[in-house]
Structure 1
Amino acid sequence: MRKVIWHYNHADWYVDKVIAQAEVYKNSMNVNKDGEINITPGADNDVTTIGNRWINNSVYVFGGGRNQNDIKMGRFDCSSFVHWAFSQVGVKLGELTSVSTETLKHLGTAIKVEDMQPGDLVFFDTYKKDGYVGIYLGDGNFIGAQSFTGVAIANMNDGYWKEKFNHRVKRIDYVKK
C-alpha cells in the first residue's frame, strides 16, 4: 500500500498521513459479507455525527447512494445520505433504492422550527419544493450531501440555505446505540 500511495505523491510525510487516516477509518467501521458498513461497538453512533467520516471524503451524485458500491465510494445525494446516516444507528427510513426527499418528508413527526433538536430532518426548496433534506445539528447548522462539497456541514441561518429553508422539520424517533 505504501508503494501505491508513494507513486501518487512521492512525499514520505504524505504516505504516512494517508495510511494513518486509513487506519482511523478502518478502526471506526467494518464491512460485512454483503459489503454493508457496520459500526464498531464503542464508536460514535449518533445520527448527528456518524456522517462526519464523509466530510471531505465524498461526492454529490444526484441519484447516488442507492447501492452498496456508491455508499462504499462515498457517492450520495441528500436523501440517500440521510437514509445511510439513520441506517447506521439502526433506523430504517424505507427502501434504499427508492428513498427521496418526497418519501422522507412523510416520515416522523412534524416539529415547529422553534422546537428543532439535533437529529431532526430539515427540508429546503431547491430545484423543487422539498428538493433537499439534511440532518439538523443545532445552532443553525445541518449536515447533508451537497452538490458542490459532497457531505458537509452548512449553516441554515444565512445565505443560500436561509433563503431555501421552507420550515418543514420532521423528527424521527430513535434511541442511540
Structure 2
Amino acid sequence: MYVDAVMKYYTGTISVDGKPTTPVSGGNGSKGMAAAEKGMRFVNKTKYVFGGGRNPADIAAGRFDCSSFVRWAFEQVGVNLGPMTSVTTDTLKVQGQTINPKDMQPGDVIFFDTYKIDGHVAIYLGNNQFIGDQSSTGVAIASMAPGTYWSTVFNGRVKRF
C-alpha cells in the first residue's frame, strides 16, 4: 500500500527493467496516440477475455483483456511494456512517467479502481474519452465524463510512456 501511495506522486520514469528512462509519448502526435490509433482496428470487433491477449492466437483473434490490449497497442508503435505473457495492470502502473491528472493528455495511460485498485487500464483520447477493452463492451471508446461510471472509478493514476 505504501509503494502505491508513493508512486501516485512519483514524477520520474521507470522502464520495464526498473531503470530510469525518458518518456516517449504524451500529447497529440505522441506514441500514445499512435498506439490508440492502432487499437481502433478492434473497436466494436472484439470480446473481452480476462487473461486474453497473452499468446499469438489470442491476439490474431482479437481476444484481449484491458492490460494486454494496452500492451499490444503500444507494441505496435515500438514501445515495449513488458512480456506478452505477463503484463498486467500491476506491471503497467509502475512503469513510465507519473502525470498529474490535471495535466493528462491524449495518449496517456489511465487507471481505474474496478474489482481491485488499478483493476482497469486504458488509453486516454481527450475530451473525457478513452479507448480500452472493457468486460462489458470489448474494445471500445468509452466516456469518463462527470457522472459516468468511469468517472466514478477513475483513480487519478496517469502514466506516460
TM-score for both structures, normalised by structure 2: 0.78
Q: CA–CA distance in 2 between the matches of 1:105 and 1:121?
A: 9
Deviation at 1:57, TM superposition (A): 1.0
Alignment of 1:67 with 2:67, yes or no, is no
**Count of matched residue pairs:** 128
Aligned position for 1:97: 85
Of Structure 1 and Structure 2, the greater helix share is in 1
Aligned position for 2:22: none
- Measured against aligned partners, the alpha-carbon deviations of 1:51-70 in whole angstroms (never above 9, x if no partner) come to 11101111100000000100
Alignment of 1:162 with 2:141, yes or no, is no
Tell me: higher relative CO, structure 1 or 2? Use CA pairs within 8 A at least 6 residues apart: 2
Alignment of 1:111 with 2:99, yes or no, is yes
Unaligned ranges ≥5, structure 1:
1-44, 173-177
Alignment of 1:85 with 2:73, yes or no, is yes
- Measured against aligned partners, the alpha-carbon deviations of 1:61-113 in whole angstroms (never above 9, x if no partner) come to 00000001000101000000000000000111011100000000000011011
Unaligned ranges ≥5, structure 2:
1-32
Q: CA–CA distance in 2 between the matches of 1:161 and 1:63?
A: 21
4+ residue runs of structure 1 moved beyond 3 angstroms? none
- Measured against aligned partners, the alpha-carbon deviations of 1:13-42 in whole angstroms (never above 9, x if no partner) come to xxxxxxxxxxxxxxxxxxxxxxxxxxxxxx
**One-letter amino acid of the structure 2 residue matched with residue 103 of structure 1:** T
Deviation at 1:48, TM superposition (A): 2.1
Cα root mean square deviation, aligned: 1.0
State the percentage of identical aligned residues: 62
Aligned position for 2:34: 46
Alignment of 1:127 with 2:119, yes or no, is no
Q: Greater Rg, structure 1 or structure 2?
A: 1
TM-score for both structures, normalised by structure 1: 0.71
Deviation at 1:159, TM superposition (A): 1.4
